[in-house]
Amino acid sequence: MEDFLPTSLCSTTRKVQPDPPVNLSLQVIQSAGILYLWAKWSPPPLVDVRSGWLILHYELRLKSEEWEEWETIFVGQQTHYKAFKLHPGLKYIVQVHCMLDHGEWSEWSSESYIQIPNGQSPGKPELLRCRSPEKETFTCWWKPGSDGGLPTNYTLFYSKEGDKSINECPDYRTAGPNSCYFNKKHTSLWAIYNITIKATNKRGSNISEPQYVDVTYIVQPDPPVNLSLEVKKQVDGKPYLLLKWYPPPLADVKSGWLTLEYKLRLKPEEAEEWETIFVGQQTQYKLFSLNPGKKYIAQVHCKPDHGEWSEWSSESYIQIPSDIELKDVIVWIFVAVLSSIICLIIIGMMALKGFSMVACILPPVPGPKIKGLDTHLLETGRSVELLSALGCQDFPPTSDCEDLLVEFLEVDDSEDQQLMPSHEKGHPSKNMKSAHKETDSDSGRGSCDSPFLLSERSREPRIPPSAFQTPDISEIPENNARKSSCEIQSTDLKEIIPYFSIGGAKLSMGLGAQLLNNQTPKCSYHDITNVCKIAHGTMNVNVASILGGNEENQQSQYSKPTETISEETLDKQGEVESLHSKVDQDRMQLLPNEKSPFLSAKLMDYVEIHKVNQDGALAVLPKQKENGGKTENCTVPGTNKEYAKVSRVVDNSILVIIPVSRVQSTPMFQEPPKESVQNLQQSQREKNMSYCFTTPSECKIDTGGLDYLDPTSFMCSFN
Amino acid sequence: MEPVGQPLGPHFLRQSGQRVGDPAHAALPVGYAWLCALLGLLGKPPGAAFVAICARQGDSSCRFLSVSDLFDRVIQHSDRLHSLSTEKNFLPNGNALGKWTGKCHTSKMLTPNGKEYVQKIPREELTHLILRLLQAWKEPLSHFDQNIGHHQELSSDSLSKAKQISSMVHELKTGMEKVTEKMQSMGIISNSLNGMGSSEAAGLSISNEANLMSDYEFIHCFRRDSNKVQSYLKILKCRIWPGNSC
């Protein structure tokens, strides 16, 4: 049987390729938030799987359109498959094929396309809260979940306690988006509401958790309204703040349905923290602790007895008036301006008036005024003169005077006599010597010339030389001193003047000079220092007498003259003059109290200033009157000058001496008040003529260009 | 004129003087005690709103109280009662409302659940309703008192407060009864409805069911009903005596 037919064997076990599956359907399903593809197909029609003999195995492949590679999944014998891990928004291509046992895979089925949608079912919404403003209606708000990219619808469902039916929200709009408003009809108190929200979109829906609401306990009213602040004054004037408000308009407090309690809060505008005050059920409040001048902000809110606090009301402002009122400020400003003006006026007055004001306020301390005492004596420190003025005796003793006391110069009348000009300072001795040479007198005489400077010049440039003579002091040993005329030229006078010392003696000199203008030309010189001596010594009194007149009176009077000599001003001269006038009969007498004609209150005669020593002693010569023409004798025009009269004293130490042509003649340059005095002097001259005769008859002195006094002339009168 | 019934118990007065969590209210004066005596003695003509509460002479604290003042006292008492019931410790779970699916035993009573209804209902009806409510809780409260010792989770303070509830309710009921009678005698409210008899009967039937309540349900229901009583009283007071503090 090898002759079998060469036939092909068909084995049933040969691989059979079935047909591909059919009716591939695709579906995208989202369940529980998960998106998957539901693929379903049918086996190929010719294959009978029902008998169970044929077992088909399937395989699925899918890919996105953009992808290149297929994802192949072996499914098994099932004819459906859930494909997860889908990418939303992509379009997928799905194919499936089958295979018999040990066979071949069939062809892939035709492609099926499926678009995975972008959107999802919505997320779970959430009920936020439900509130009732007045315990009559209420509103619920919810928060939507994710919408899955698709428009989502929200619905609210509620059910009341005891009511099995579920109702939907009656009003979605009144209270705004995502809210549900229950009006009075739908609101039941003392019943629990079961409220849920459902979110629905194309992909699905979602429902929220249920919330149970009892309206009684969800009351939150609106804030109170019309908060008014007012500053009022109490009976005693203190301010307080009255706050008033009204309950919210919806809350029915009048019927007792709602009982509200209020709370206030205040703060000054700049402050950070509020001050909260619980007020209770009243709708007004009095606040007493205020800061004046500040601006306050106030707010109020309320709460029902079982509910929640409302929102704070809108801010109300109040300005607390300050304590200081405008009129108080004005008053203070006015007072300040007025006082400042007054101060300025006072300062200005003080500035203008200066010291006079100061003097007015603080009057100068009056110095001690003792009659007859010259304070200037104190100032100059010349205790000698001072004490002489005071009448002190023998204090302090000056040695100079003593030395000079015994020194008198006798000046002869001879022509060759030449007296040294006394202005030569520092050479009194020389002068003396020369004088001594000139004269034959012994050296008993000294001269008290002490050239010294006077502080000031005499005021009058032109001083007629006037000789004044003073009677001798007792120590005048000789009477050589004569010189009828001891003239001092004005110019010389000027020179001499500086040498006049200040002191009581000087003045006495001066006065003497004036009063002695008509004296007999006796050349006597009066030692100033001697005078000092006199002043100091026992003959102090004599000085007074010398000066004339009543001792006591003249003490003071003479002190006055001394003052005047030492004075600078003309005023003192006036005093001198007055003194002259005072001394009527009693004139200045330079002699000691020996009853010299001088003392008899006679007018003094002129004295010729002989010289002046350092200590301020004037060496004077009495004017000679031996001759009737004594004056003429004494007056030699040109060389000899007539007597010089001290017209006045200036600058404390300057004797202003006026040359007088004739003794008898009225003094040319004297001031009028002296005329009388001089007249008197003249009248008394005769009487006095005899008093100074120790000196030579002539008291003419050849001044030799300088007028100075002959000291000898002084001596004559003291015999 | 009806004579005034039994005087108010001292408990009512004492409790009224202590308000928990309500500092604004003052304690009841001692003079309230004398109201009872006087109410019994006096037979006031209808319309007279003032009652002399002092029976004894020479008592310095005597002063006249009006019925509206009495009513205020009653209201204050009910406020305090409600405050006690809302004590947090009684309800450990704040939002446990959802758990409860049952009903209160007083749910069967038809009570107005809105302001308009409360205002529309006649005074007498409202007054009686209040009394019935209070009566309905008599039994459950006594039951509650017996079981309160079993609650260890409550603090001693909460425990003491819980124990006060029943006595307070009793005082409130008594006080309300007295005021009602007074008002009836004054003609403020009519006598159409029977006195306490009806309320007693109604309350008893309800109370039986109350024993089945759980503690949570008990507290919850009691809170509600005390709030009802409080609201009704306030509305009633402002209806009868409008103006003062309304």
Bridge partners, residue A154, by sequence: A199
Q: How many Cβ pairs within 8 Å bridge chains A and B?
A: 60
A164 in contact with B, Cβ within 8 Å:
no
Bridge partners, residue A620, by sequence: A609
Question: Do A509 and A607 meet the contact criterion of CB atoms below 8 Å apart?
Answer: yes
Please tell me the distance from the alpha carbon of residue B20 to that of residue A637, in angstroms, as a whole number.
Answer: 143
Residue numbers of A between 305 and 364 with CB closer than 8 Å to B: 305-306
- 3 state SS of B120: helix
Q: Kindly determine whether residue A184 and residue B103, on different chains, have CB atoms separated by under 8 Å.
A: no
pLDDT for A628 equals 42
Per CB-CB distance under 8 Å, the chain A contacts of B118 are: 257
> Residue A62 phi/psi, 5° resolution?
-145, 155
Question: Do A221 and A248 meet the contact criterion of CB atoms below 8 Å apart?
Answer: yes
DSSP for B46-114 reads TT--EEE---STT-TT--EEEHHHHHHHHHHHHHHHHHHHT-GGG-SSTTGGGG--S--TTTTS----S
Q: Kindly determine whether residue B114 and residue A305, on different chains, have CB atoms separated by under 8 Å.
A: no
Residue numbers of A between 201 and 220 with CB closer than 8 Å to B: 210, 212, 214, 216
DSSP state of B29: P
A261 in contact with B, Cβ within 8 Å:
yes
Per CB-CB distance under 8 Å, the chain A contacts of B82 are: 306
DSSP state of A617: B
Per CB-CB distance under 8 Å, the chain A contacts of B228 are: 190
pLDDT for A376 equals 64
Query: Strands, E, within A563-706: which ranges?
Result: 607-612, 618-622, 644-650, 654-659, 699-700
Please tell me the distance from the alpha carbon of residue A212 to that of residue B97, in angstroms, as a whole number.
Answer: 6
Per CB-CB distance under 8 Å, the chain B contacts of A194 are: 98
pLDDT tens digits along A212-247: 988 998 999 999 999 999 888 888 877 888 999 999
- 3 state SS of A425: coil
Q: Kindly determine whether residue A306 and residue B114, on different chains, have CB atoms separated by under 8 Å.
A: no
| Distance between A248 CA and the closest CA of chain B, angstroms | 15
User: How many residues are present in chain B?
Assistant: 246
Which one of B104, B224, B226 would you mutate to disrupt binding with A, by most A Cβ within 10 Å of its Cβ?
B224
Which one of B84, B227, B241 would you mutate to disrupt binding with A, by most A Cβ within 10 Å of its Cβ?
B227
Q: Which residues, other chains included, contact A162 with Cβ-Cβ below 8 Å and sequence gap of 6+?
A: A191, B103, B107
pLDDT for B193 equals 60
| Distance between A261 CA and the closest CA of chain B, angstroms | 10
Q: Kindly determine whether residue B24 and residue A187, on different chains, have CB atoms separated by under 8 Å.
A: no
**Nearest CB partner across the interface for B246, out of A135, A136, A254:** A254
Over the Cα atoms of chain A, what is R_g? Answer: 75
- Both structure tokens of B165: 């509830």
Whole-prediction pTM value? 0.50
Q: Kindly determine whether residue A184 and residue B97, on different chains, have CB atoms separated by under 8 Å.
A: no
What CA dihedral angle connects B88, B91, B97 and B101, to 10 degrees? -150
Sign of CA dihedral B227, B229, B232, B237: negative
Per CB-CB distance under 8 Å, the chain A contacts of B79 are: 305
Residues from B contacting A (CB-CB < 8 Å) are: 24, 79, 82, 86, 95, 97-98, 103, 107, 111, 113-116, 118-119, 224, 227-228, 231, 234-235, 237-239, 242, 245-246
pLDDT for A633 equals 42
**Nearest CB partner across the interface for B246, out of A216, A256, A306:** A256
| Distance between A143 CA and the closest CA of chain B, angstroms | 19
Tell me the CA distances in angstroms from A146 to A149, A150, A203, A206, one per residue in order: 8, 9, 12, 10
Residue type, B87: E
Q: Kindly determine whether residue A188 and residue B238, on different chains, have CB atoms separated by under 8 Å.
A: no
Per CB-CB distance under 8 Å, the chain B contacts of A253 are: 246
Number of neighbours of residue B36 by Cβ within 10 angstroms: 21
Higher-scoring residue by pLDDT: B202, A388:
A388
Please tell me the distance from the alpha carbon of residue A681 to that of residue A625, in angstroms, as a whole number.
Answer: 13
| Distance between A147 CA and the closest CA of chain B, angstroms | 28
DSSP for A22-36 reads EEEEEEEEEETTEEE
Of A584, A618, A576, nearest in space to A603 by CA = A584
Number of neighbours of residue A558 by Cβ within 10 angstroms: 33
Residue numbers of A between 115 and 154 with CB closer than 8 Å to B: 135-136
Question: Do A412 and A696 meet the contact criterion of CB atoms below 8 Å apart?
Answer: yes
Of A588, A607, A604, nearest in space to A712 by CA = A607
DSSP for B127-161 reads HHHHHHHHHHTHHHHHHHHHHGGG--SS-HHHHHH
Burial B58-94 (b: 16+ CB within 10 A, else e): eeeebeebebbbbbbbbbbbbbbbbbbbbbeebbeee
Q: Kindly determine whether residue A281 and residue B227, on different chains, have CB atoms separated by under 8 Å.
A: no
| Distance between A255 CA and the closest CA of chain B, angstroms | 6
Over the Cα atoms of chain B, what is R_g? Answer: 18
Q: Kindly determine whether residue A257 and residue B86, on different chains, have CB atoms separated by under 8 Å.
A: no
Low-confidence ranges of chain A (pLDDT < 50): 417-441, 443-447, 449-601, 626-639, 663-680, 682-683, 686-705, 709, 714, 716-719
Q: Kindly determine whether residue A256 and residue B238, on different chains, have CB atoms separated by under 8 Å.
A: yes
Strands A483-485 and A699-700: parallel
Q: Can you tell me the mean pLDDT for B5-22? A: 42
| CA A371 to the chain's CA centroid | 53
Per CB-CB distance under 8 Å, the chain A contacts of B115 are: 135-136, 252, 255, 257
- Give the Cα-Cα-Cα angle A78, A84, A85 (nearest 5 degrees): 150
A192 in contact with B, Cβ within 8 Å:
yes
Average pLDDT, chain B: 71
| Distance between B23 CA and the closest CA of chain A, angstroms | 9
Highest average pLDDT, of A432-436, B108-112, B203-207, comes from: B108-112
**Nearest CB partner across the interface for A190, out of B115, B224, B245:** B224
| Distance between A190 CA and the closest CA of chain B, angstroms | 6
Question: Do A559 and A374 meet the contact criterion of CB atoms below 8 Å apart?
Answer: yes
Q: Kindly determine whether residue B97 and residue A214, on different chains, have CB atoms separated by under 8 Å.
A: yes
Question: Do B37 and B213 meet the contact criterion of CB atoms below 8 Å apart?
Answer: no
Please tell me the distance from the alpha carbon of residue A180 to that of residue A696, in angstroms, as a whole number.
Answer: 159
| Distance between B201 CA and the closest CA of chain A, angstroms | 24
| Distance between B113 CA and the closest CA of chain A, angstroms | 5
| Distance between A305 CA and the closest CA of chain B, angstroms | 9
Please tell me the distance from the alpha carbon of residue A630 to that of residue A485, in angstroms, as a whole number.
Answer: 8
- 3 state SS of A556: helix
Q: Kindly determine whether residue B113 and residue A189, on different chains, have CB atoms separated by under 8 Å.
A: yes
Question: Do A259 and A247 meet the contact criterion of CB atoms below 8 Å apart?
Answer: no
Tell me the CA distances in angstroms from A302 to A45, A134, A287, A307, one per residue in order: 80, 12, 18, 10
- Both structure tokens of A25: 């359907």
Q: Kindly determine whether residue A255 and residue B115, on different chains, have CB atoms separated by under 8 Å.
A: yes
- Both structure tokens of B30: 């001692």
Q: Which residue of chain A has the CA closest to B21?
A: A305
